[in-house]
Structure 1
Amino acid sequence: MFHSLFTFNFTEYTFPMTEGHPSHLANSNLPMSAKHFQLYGRFWDVVSLLAFVSAAVSVIIAHSNALTWRETTAAGLCVAQGVLYFFAIARSGWPISRFRLTLYFVGGLGLWLLACWLNPFLWWLGFTYFGQMFGLLPLQAVIPGTAILTALIVLTISEWKITDLPMGAVIGFSIQWLIAMVLYLFIYGIIRTSGDRAKLIAKLEAAQKELELAHQRDTELATLQERERLARDLHDSLGHALVALSVQLEAIQRLYKVDPERASAQVDELKTLTRASMDDLRRSLAGLRAPGLGERRLSEALQTLSVDAGQRAHLEITCHVAEGANQLSPAHAETIWRIAQEALANIERHAAAHTVQLQLSITPNAALLSIQDDGRGLPPDAEKQPGHYGLRGMRERVEGLGGTLTLTSDGNGSRVDVKLPIL
């Protein structure tokens, strides 16, 4: 009976439809799938059409023994209401235009009132329009529309004798209308809330996709930057060495005929240059092929790195790693490992230091790495000077994770401080 208890206002939502009802909801705000909503709409189309046909058939059957023009006309008006519903609502595309809604409800209610005038028994057909108002009209039209329709039903029952209105019917229909309004507003609020949540979820999904794309772009940029750094290292070390080797080989080739002793001295210099070039190449290949942490724990990797660097360069390296370091994300752990590796390599090659202190501490919001030595310190504007690509690479790695890198240097050594935020 109460179409209104199951049909709600969807006219405020706009989405592509095929003829009659939705077949595809690309970004639907409805709390149901496109297929379910289509079946839902078709179901109530059938219910509405059956209501009009049932009204016509019931009039014919009730007066089959004494069928007059009034009953025949009333039955025809019921069929006309069904035809109007089919062409104005069921067959039209969704969302239904205001013109079609106005045509249907004004024309349909007019046909219904005329049929009730011919046969008051058809007053119950007004409940069909009552439910359809809930399903088809916007909120601002539902309340006055259903109130007017309820009043028309009561007047039809009393055969338009206002002075003889049955108080029981008035009170009963008024209570029924109030209950329907409360249920409608409650479910309408749920649907609107669900729609708002759907929009918010869609926005969050779009933001997540943008973040994923941004992360992918950052990863690709970091890879390109690392390749550029390696290319610069190879050009400035191995490239220059090969040029020098080529020049010296040509000189030796000419000297062997006129001055063998000098040519032999050039060969010794060539050996020294070759060994130096091989060392540079090994360092470059190590930077390219190093697997990073791999399966190692960060604390163990830092301790091993400190021991190896200390034994190789005769340095006294003190390494303190706080608890919780092994729980850092792979990106944070890899960055800290690379920074420590680069910093110790710089100290080994350039600082002429005796002692080094490496400390990694963990706070609720950040990971703090500090590496300090007692060497000769960094030259002024070290990052801007040619050849200091490692320092720039350290800063790029840290800033890529939203952190900060600070370089300090004085006559008593240098210090590298790294702060990586932990989300």
Structure 2
Amino acid sequence: MPADLPLEQPVELKLLRYWELFYLFVLVATLIALQLQAAEPLPERTGGSALLVAGFGWYWWFGHRPLVRTAGEISTPVGVLAVTGVLVFFFGALLLAPGAAWITPSVISQVFWLLSLRTSVVAVVLISFMPGLISLSRGGNIAEQLATTIPAGVIFCALALMLGLFVHRIAQQKEDQTVLIERLAASRSEVSRLSHEAGTAAERERLAREIHDTLAQGFTSIVALVQAIESELDTDPAAARRHLELTARTARENLDEARSMVAALTPSALTSGTLADAVRRQADRLAAETALTVTCRIDGPLPKLATAAEVVLLRAAQEALHNTRRHAHATTVSLELSIVDEKVRLTVRDDGVGFDPDAPRSGYGLAGMAARARQVGGELSVHSGAHGGTELVVEVPA
């Protein structure tokens, strides 16, 4: 086919082989028919047969080989050269032996492989009516010949054009499908890129929450303990040693969290016990590191939660206690884990100065806490006010 009708290996070339077998079959049948036409002189029949065989050889060398070599993407000059040679041999055979017209269907079939649709139409009309014109040139009863050649030419031409349009439509559909597949592949590539970017952004957000809820809070505790140690070294060595032990323990826990974060594992506080144990340890640590009165209550055995839900509740407890320690100026803090309406609820209350939950904040704590809860189908609510006291509630499905 011409360059405007690209072929795709191996389907089109396999189809081409079928058409070439058809060409060869019709050629053999025509050669046999010519030899059986005893009314024609033997030299003319032999010459016509030789020209038909030469036409097939011309097609094979100048048509088939370029089609196979370029997977059907032959240029217009190459296609014109191949068709011109085939037609010259075909018309020469007709001049010698009119019976050579039997090969017309196979010649027409190859035209559509070698020329563009518009050029093929011109060639098909010429091929269809050429046997009749040559017959008229031989003389005889013109009326009878016209009555025979014109209907035959019209039928051949109509069938050939229908076949050509059908083949062209199939090729055009394949071309459209190729373009569609390329666009689909490009769309998939774009979706993959966007998904990768979205996944990267989500992972960055997750790491930001993890760092904020674990390492940053741990370093804050270490800084506070070091400051306490500095003030106690001369006045209360025993308290300084106790705070030094707490500093070392906090540093080790921070190191464990960092290792777990790098390995994308469950938080270290949950690997060594249950969620209730982890929450109690957070309360005990706050009580040991500060002068706050901290209470922790667990209502009954908690149901087994998904790891993601346990992480949400643990991080919420850590963030709430961290905020209380830094901002609330409270004297008492209470933590409670309970089951309410098939949900596990964490409640953290303090008697501090309170704040406006709706006011703009530059910190990441509450926003990250809310985002975590939404990811597991839970929710966060905060109740506070100017009169003091704050209550933070996180619920996740049980």
Question: For this structure pair, what is the TM-score category when the shorter chain's length is used for normalisation?
Answer: 0.5 to 0.7
- Assess, with a 3 A threshold, how the Cα gap between structure 1 residues 336 and 350 changes in structure 2: closer, same or farther: same
Secondary structure of the residue that 1:142 maps to in structure 2?
A: helix
Contact 2:117 2:164 in 1 (8 A): no
Equivalent residue number for residue 40 of structure 1: 15
Partner of 1:267: 238
- Residue 107 (structure 1) aligned to one of 85, 104, 123: 85
Measure, in 2, the Cα distance between the counterparts of 1:98 and 1:398.
67
Alignment partner, residue 237 of structure 1? 218
Q: What RMSD over aligned residues (CA atoms) do the two structures have, in Å? A: 5.5
Give the conservation status (yes or no) of the 8 Å contact 2:334–2:349.
yes
Aligned equivalents of 1:165, 1:371: Cα separation in 2:
103
In the alignment, is residue 201 of structure 1 matched against residue 174 of structure 2?
A: no
Check the 8 A contact 1:359/1:371 in 2, yes or no.
Answer: no
Question: How many matched pairs?
Answer: 351
> 1:18-417 residue pairs with structure 2 within 5 A?
30=8, 34-45=9-20, 47-48=22-23, 51-52=26-27, 55=30, 59=34, 67-68=42-43, 70-92=44-66, 93-94=69-70, 95-156=73-134, 163-167=143-147, 170-171=150-151, 173-175=153-155, 177-182=157-162, 184-186=164-166, 188-216=168-196, 218-219=198-199, 222-223=202-203, 233-234=214-215, 237-238=218-219, 241=222, 262=235, 265-275=236-246, 278-279=249-250, 281-282=252-253, 285=256, 289=260, 314=296, 338-350=311-323, 352=333, 384-385=362-363, 388=364, 390-391=365-366, 393-394=368-369, 411=385
CA distance in 2, matches of 1:114, 1:191: 32
Worse-superposed segment, 134-143 or 346-355: 346-355
Q: Does the 8 Å contact 1:309/1:348 carry over to 2? A: no
Aligned residue type for 2:4:
E
Over the matched positions of the two proteins, sequence identity in percent amounts to 17
Question: Residue 183 and residue 39 in structure 1: after superposition, are their counterparts in 2 closer, same or farther (change >3 A)?
Answer: closer
Q: How far apart in 1 are the matches of 2:6 and 2:242?
A: 80
Q: Distance in 1 between matches of 2:243 and 2:86?
A: 104
Separation in structure 1 between the aligned mates of residue 316 and residue 56 of structure 2, nearest angstrom: 84
Residue 106 (structure 1) shift: 2.9
C-alpha spacing 1:205/1:244, structure 2 compared with 1 (3 Å): same
Matched to 2:173, the amino acid is T
CA pair 397-64 structure 1, distance change in 2 beyond 3 A: farther
2: distance between equivalents of 1:342 and 1:50?
81
Q: Distance in 2 between matches of 1:175 and 1:62?
A: 24
The gaps in structure 2 that reach 5 residues or longer are 268-273, 284-294, 300-304, 325-332
Alpha-carbon distance, 1:271 to partner:
0.8
Q: Deviations over 1:204-245 (max 9, x none)?
A: 234334433544455456556655665675466349838976
Residue 148 to residue 52, structure 1, CA distance change in 2 (3 Å):
same
Task: Say if 2:317 and 2:348, in contact at 8 Å, map to a contact too.
Answer: no
SS of 1:347's partner is helix
TM-score by length of 2: 0.61
Are the structure 2 counterparts of residues 417 and 378 from structure 1 closer, same or farther at C-alpha, using a change threshold of 3 Å? Answer: farther
Provide structure 1 residue ranges, at least 5 long, that are not aligned to the other structure. Answer: 1-8, 16-29, 256-261, 294-303, 318-325, 327-332, 362-369, 419-423
Q: Which has the larger radius of gyration?
A: 2
- Between the aligned partners of 1:379 and 1:123, the Cα distance in structure 2 is 98
TM superposition shift of 1:342:
3.1
